[in-house]
Amino acid sequence: MPHPAEAGAQSQTIKAQLRLRELIVGGELGPGQRIAELALVERLGVSRTPVRAALATLRDEGLLEALPGGGYVVKDFGEDDVHDAIELRGTLEGLAARLAAERGVAPALLAEARECLEGIDAVLAAAELDEAAFSTYAECNARWHTLLAAMAASALLARQLERVKTLPFASPNGFVRVGGDRPRTRDSLMLAQAQHHAVLDAIERREGARAEALMREHARIAQQHLREALQSHRTRQRIPGANLLRRRVGAR
């Protein structure tokens, strides 16, 4: 067990990381804005040590860029960067699915994954998807993707997946609400859920190549959502971290 002082310091560091990421993704700290360490100390209510650790972590995640003379600046992203981030997640999750199928998964872990999917099935069975339904979907969806990483039984792969999912556009839930309440949004979620079931089935049957291909295709749904969301200002603003996206010349 960690010493109480060490645990407290770690807690402060995590708090600073989460809050700083919220400030950036939420638009309170915009692209090109220089980050003042002392101002963050006052704003986040923590000491300089966890603030420095948070800044370094978000630099590693790609949200910040270190300046030659010291300090950091908030980065912006092009559409190609977003596509690459989603593609990278799909590639890593495809590998996770294949390893899970090839290595085998403990029955308890498979049961937990099935329970997650049952929760999503229940949400999508409702006549309408309200805010509570979307929240439940997002919670179960995030849990299922976390369980997929665990099923691969690779600590190295799990770390890399967690790292890529911290990018504002690569999260499995990054585009869940982009389409709003339109019927097409529900259709997309239904398709994603069908893929969830197919991936888990492939893993249980020890069909590694099929599991990998399905999981990589699963990430393409997010790619399609991104293309659709960027077509209008209204849907663009639903994308978490949309303020970090560079607009194309001539875009409306």
> Does one domain contain both 140 and 17?
no
Q: How many residues does the chain have?
A: 252
> Does one domain contain both 95 and 194?
yes
> Does one domain contain both 115 and 194?
yes
Q: Residue 250 domain-assigned?
A: no
> Does one domain contain both 158 and 131?
yes
> Does one domain contain both 60 and 105?
no
Phi, psi of 169 (to 5 degrees): -105, -5
> Does one domain contain both 146 and 168?
yes
Q: Residue 125 domain-assigned?
A: yes
CA 152 → CA 7, 99, 113, 162, 203, distances in Å?
29, 5, 13, 14, 10
Full residue range of the structural domain in which residue 170 is found: 79-244
The whole-number pLDDT of residue 234 equals 63
The whole-number pLDDT of residue 244 equals 79
> pTM for this one?
0.74
Q: Residue 251 domain-assigned?
A: no
Question: How many structural domains comprise the chain?
Answer: 2
Last residue of a domain, one of 54, 74, 94: 74
Q: Which among 92, 63, 84, 85 is positioned nearest to 156, based on CA atoms?
A: 92
Q: Residue 42 domain-assigned?
A: yes
Q: Residue 144 domain-assigned?
A: yes
> Does one domain contain both 127 and 201?
yes
CATH of the domain at 12: 1.10.10.10
> Does one domain contain both 153 and 98?
yes
10-residue averages of pLDDT along the chain (252 residues): 53 84 84 89 90 89 87 86 88 98 97 96 89 86 95 95 80 66 74 96 98 94 74 64 65 43
> Does one domain contain both 126 and 225?
yes
Last residue of a domain, one of 26, 44, 74: 74
**Is the CB of residue 200 less than 8 Å from the CB of residue 110?**
yes
Q: Residue 249 domain-assigned?
A: no
The whole-number pLDDT of residue 186 equals 81
CATH of the domain at 128: 1.20.120.530
The whole-number pLDDT of residue 85 equals 86
> Does one domain contain both 117 and 25?
no
The whole-number pLDDT of residue 238 equals 63
State how far the Cα of 73 lies from the Cα of 71, in Å rounded to an integer. 7
Q: Residue 23 domain-assigned?
A: yes
